[in-house]
């Protein structure tokens, strides 16, 4: 009896049951068929488990008996109501779990459908992405081919331009050499009479605007007097000294006009003389007034526009002439020093309004207070 029970249990082992292959059903994509199939498998398994439990109980009961008479004489188990209540509780729990499993199966089915639709959308997006990728690759290949053609064409154009530029450069170099030789020949011809031409231009320009008188001549310096034409003032001649410097240059010095000297090449001597004469004419009225006052003991400093009046051996007066005097600037008394002491200028004022230089000298020379 025990051996028969072991063989039966071995044949009815749940591990020998063929499990439902849900993978094949999922691959088929038929959700409803898979759901019914799983429920049918579950129902069959549940029935088989119940039968196995009954069979296992019977085998245990028969294994504990020695003969058939003992089975027939064995009384019924006591308290059948308690066993029925336990069985109902187990049945209710089982049904609840069955409902939960069915709900989970429905949820799983919905999720599987949702995943299937998402998978379809992803596949469509993947196909579109692959198509876009192929289009981009095709565009890149087309652009690369176009760029290569442009680079080749540009390289050919650059080679042609470079060759043309080299040819032009060689032609220019030959022409430059020829012109350099011609220039050197012309410079050799002009070297002999350049000085004469410059001197002739200077004489022609100065004769047209002024008269001049040569005072002295030396190998490196000459002194002359200039008298401008058509001036409203009777100006005294302007003395100039022209010193020749190396490298065909000159240095022009003026007496009474400016303490600064004018320098430059010989070809600019005419322009320098005209500039000095124009400056001399523009200051002619002021210089004429200063020259008319030479009866006084005065000393004129053009750079500072300062006139020093020596009234006596112990009295020295300093007067400043404003820029543009006498039309714009004014004559101003800066200081009066007597016996080394400065006098108060508040009491020293000529009786006229806006006194000129002559008024100041007449007032200072006739003032008996100092």
pLDDT tens digits, 182-241: 888 877 766 545 554 555 555 555 555 566 677 777 767 778 777 766 554 556 677 778
Cα–Cα distance for residue pair 305/258, rounded to 1 Å:
10
18 vs 326, more confident: 326
**Residue that is written with structure tokens 């007034």 in the block:** 289
Q: Who wins on pLDDT, 255 or 51?
A: 51
Model confidence pLDDT, tens digit, residues 37-52: 888 888 888 888 888 8
Quick check: 19 pLDDT over 60?
no
Judged against a pLDDT cut of 90, whether residue 281 lies above it is answered with no
147 falls within a domain: no
pLDDT at 75: 66
Q: Would you say residue 79 lies in a domain? A: no
**Which of 282, 309, 327 is at the close of a domain?**
282
Split at pLDDT 50, 70, 90, the class of 312 is: confident
pLDDT band at 257, cuts 50/70/90? Answer: low
Residue 157 located in a structural domain: no
CA-CA distance, 250 to 242, in Å (whole number)? 7
The answer to whether position 71 is within a domain reads no
Please, are residues 25 and 34 in contact by the beta-carbon 8 Å criterion? yes
Domain that residue 258 falls in: 195-282
Write down the pLDDT at residue 107.
Answer: 92
> Domains in the chain: how many in total?
3
Q: Which of 365, 357, 349, 207 is nearest to 285 (CA)?
A: 357
- Report residue 127's pLDDT band, with 50, 70 and 90 as the boundaries: very high
Residue 235 falls inside a structural domain? yes
pLDDT at 203: 53
Residue 2: per-residue pLDDT: 47
* Residue 20 pLDDT level (bands cut at 50, 70, 90): very low
Note the pLDDT of residue 14.
47
pLDDT at 18 over 50: no
What per-residue string of b and e applies to 262-290 under the rule 16 or more CB within 10 Å gives b? beeebebbbebbbebbeebbebbbbbbbb
Say if residues 207 and 221 touch (Cβ distance below 8 Å).
no
Q: Are 216 and 115 in the same domain?
A: no
CA separation, residue 144 to residues 138, 149, 151, 158 (Å):
10, 9, 10, 21
Nearest alpha-carbon partner for 244 in 261, 225, 262, 219: 219
Residue of higher predicted confidence among 308 and 74: 308
Please give the mean pLDDT across all residues of the chain: 77
Task: Tell whether 250 is covered by a domain.
Answer: yes
242/63 Cα distance (integer angstroms): 156
Work out the average pLDDT over 260-266. Answer: 73
Q: Please state which of the ranges 84-98, 234-248, 292-306 shows the lowest mean pLDDT.
A: 234-248
- pLDDT number for residue 140: 92
101 and 23, same domain (yes or no): yes
């Amino acid at each position: 009896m025990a051996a028969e029970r072991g063989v039966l249990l071995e044949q009815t082992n749940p591990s020998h049951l063929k499990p439902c292959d849900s993978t094949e059903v999922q691959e088929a994509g038929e959700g409803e068929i898979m759901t019914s199939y799983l429920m049918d498998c579950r129902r069959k398994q549940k029935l088989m488990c119940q039968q196995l439990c009954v069979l296992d109980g019977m085998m245990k009961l028969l294994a504990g008996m020695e003969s058939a008479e003992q089975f027939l004489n064995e009384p019924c188990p006591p308290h059948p109501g308690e066993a029925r209540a336990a069985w109902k509780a187990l049945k209710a729990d089982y049904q609840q779990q069955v409902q939960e499993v069915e709900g989970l199966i429905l949820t799983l089915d919905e999720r599987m459908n949702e995943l299937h639709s998402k998978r379809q959308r992803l596949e469509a997006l993947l196909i579109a992405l692959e198509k876009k990728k192929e289009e981009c690759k095709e565009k890149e290949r087309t652009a690369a081919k176009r760029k290569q053609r442009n680079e080749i064409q540009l390289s050919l154009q650059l080679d042609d331009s470079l060759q043309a530029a080299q040819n032009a450069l060689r032609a220019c170099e030959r022409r430059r050499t020829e012109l350099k030789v011609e220039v050197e020949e012309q410079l050799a011809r002009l070297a002999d009479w350049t000085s004469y031409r410059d001197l002739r231009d200077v004489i022609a320009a100065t004769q047209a605007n002024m008269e001049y008188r040569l005072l002295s001549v030396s190998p490196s310096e000459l002194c002359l007097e200039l008298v401008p034409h058509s001036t409203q003032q009777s100006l005294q001649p302007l003395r100039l000294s022209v010193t020749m410097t190396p490298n065909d240059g000159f240095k022009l010095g003026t007496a009474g006009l400016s303490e600064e000297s004018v320098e430059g090449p010989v070809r600019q001597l005419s322009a320098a003389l005209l500039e000095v004469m124009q400056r001399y004419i523009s200051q002619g009225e002021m210089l004429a007034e200063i020259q008319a006052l030479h009866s006084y003991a005065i000393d004129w400093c053009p750079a500072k526009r300062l006139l020093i009046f020596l009234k006596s051996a112990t009295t020295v007066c300093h007067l400043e002439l404003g820029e543009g005097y006498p039309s714009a600037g004014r004559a101003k008394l800066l200081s009066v020093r007597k016996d080394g002491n400065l006098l108060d200028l508040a009491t020293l004022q000529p009786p006229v309004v806006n006194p000129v230089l002559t008024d100041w000298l007449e007032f200072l020379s006739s003032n008996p207070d100092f």
